[in-house]
Structure 1
Amino acid sequence: MTAATGRLDPDAMAVARSLSRILPRPFHELGVADSRAVAADLRPRGEPEPIHEVRDSEIPGRNGLVPIRLYRPQGAVELPVAIYFHGGGWTVGSLDGVDAVCRAIANRSGCVVVSVDYRLAPEHKYPTPLHDCVDAVAHLALRGAELGVDGTRIGLVGDSAGGNLAAAVALWARDTVLLKLRCQVLVYPATEFAVDRPSWSEHADGPLITTADVMWFWGNYLRDEGDRRDPFAVPAAAASLAGLPRTLVITAAVDPLRDSAEAFAARLLADGVDASASRYDGVFHGFFTEIGTFRATDAAVSEAARFLRNSLLP
């Protein structure tokens, strides 16, 4: 256990204590295969939340078919769609790992949620995971009716590395095809490369992810130093964030990425974007997807769902 756990609420403290059994060494020491096995064990257990429809499918992409999972909260067609990109340092994570949170978001927002199973690093470095996400969004914008969604009302949601991908997709939509996205929810996103802000030092040892883990994940994803200056790889490298869709940034108080995510929200606001940030005290990185584990998770998911409903349903 680290000193950072002293700032955790009782739910998070209990989980932090259990991590020593589930995660015997940091991710960067475990390596890719063992990290993926641990990540699979960390997903929420128990009966899945009932929902009107869950359907697995595939959509075409430049790198081949991209698996997706669609969550429909009600029978009506042409519902707006929130496209979800899971976290895991571009290296771990799966559709199953975010199944619980996608069900909850769909039910609480009244929107269809489409979860994207993008290709993982280091086997598929930048820009391949981003291309999978871009191709999924483009397909739903152009041919969403085939899946019973309204391709003119699209929001993005991503946690951690998925937040990076969501922000990068939003930049792509602004800069390349002028696709009008309605909104984005960025949950403790990895938006800048290794900037030494206070939380980077204060919570360098976790829980769950350490700064050394973050650097290892970046190393898995990026090809070379040049990628660090590419805003589609590192969104904070963009010269301007003006013109991005309205944004909600959600952070955890005990997280090395906290301050960089909140700085990104401040930049959005300064560049004229309708943006806000909500910090959840007493919890650490990863809490958002852990339905039924942290009390803060319920509040954060409900906040995200309200934001999506207010942005996409009118």
Structure 2
Amino acid sequence: MGRDIAESSKEMMSLWEKAESISKLPLRAVYWESNDTTLMSDTQYLQPALTVVNMSIWQQLSKHLVPGCVAGHSLGEFSALAAAKVLSFESVLELVCLRGELMSNLEPSEQGAMIAILRLSQTEVECIVKDVSHNIQQSITIANYNTPVQFVVSGTREAIEATISFVKEKRGRAVLLPVSGAFHSPLMEKASQKFSEKLSKMNWSTPLYPIYTNSTGTPFVDTKSIYDSILNQMISPVHWINVITNQWKDGTRQWIEVGPKGVLSRMVTPILEEHISTIDNNISVHSIDSLKTLTCFTSNNSLTLT
């Protein structure tokens, strides 16, 4: 993951070196040389590694591109903060390393599960969550509003099992996610409180570009709103539908995705289905080849980070 880009220049490789120095983890050995899928999927390793991939690509793109706005999905929101110069790369790495550590070492009361729900509407998913919560009296919530027919739900394991049954009854599809906890839910409250201690020590700057926040889907208005949103990110849902919709309303017509996969750019079409004729081809930049071929940009584009 990210090896081809890192090996393209000393500048790119230095980002991995910084990440390993801050995280105290052998990230390159795990993702470039190992076949240990357990370590590779451990959020303690994955979060700093993904962030380095994002920032490696962005460091090259920023030499040619001035985005109209930026946004990041969940973990990617931290990369967006670095891209917009709200926080330094080093500060963002410190935060994502701690975030990964907290999410990887959850207390029993915080442990849970997450499922992706496909082929059901938002109203149907909200009704299922409400019914499960009422029936078993355990924590269950929508964690990600990804597209009009794709949602992620977080909760206790019992609540998730009940949700899967309801989804099948509605002829939807439920996919259990390979994660260690119920992220973006109230079950993460203790981890969020520990995270806040680190956040309060960071130096926050005004963003160079509008950043559309996960919590509301609207642009941050000042550094306090950024801090407050990031403070509550672990326990709040990702409103990605609102992010893309509001970016389109504000003039964005092309999305350039930075990260190892092209998941987010593929979400634009179902979100903006009624306006698809107004959208330029979206681009996913995930390798040195895709980075080299990206030479032409529109003036109103959005940078999205995984």
TM-score, normalised to structure 1's length? 0.32
More helix by share: 2
When Rg is computed on C-alpha atoms for both structures, the one with the higher figure is: 2
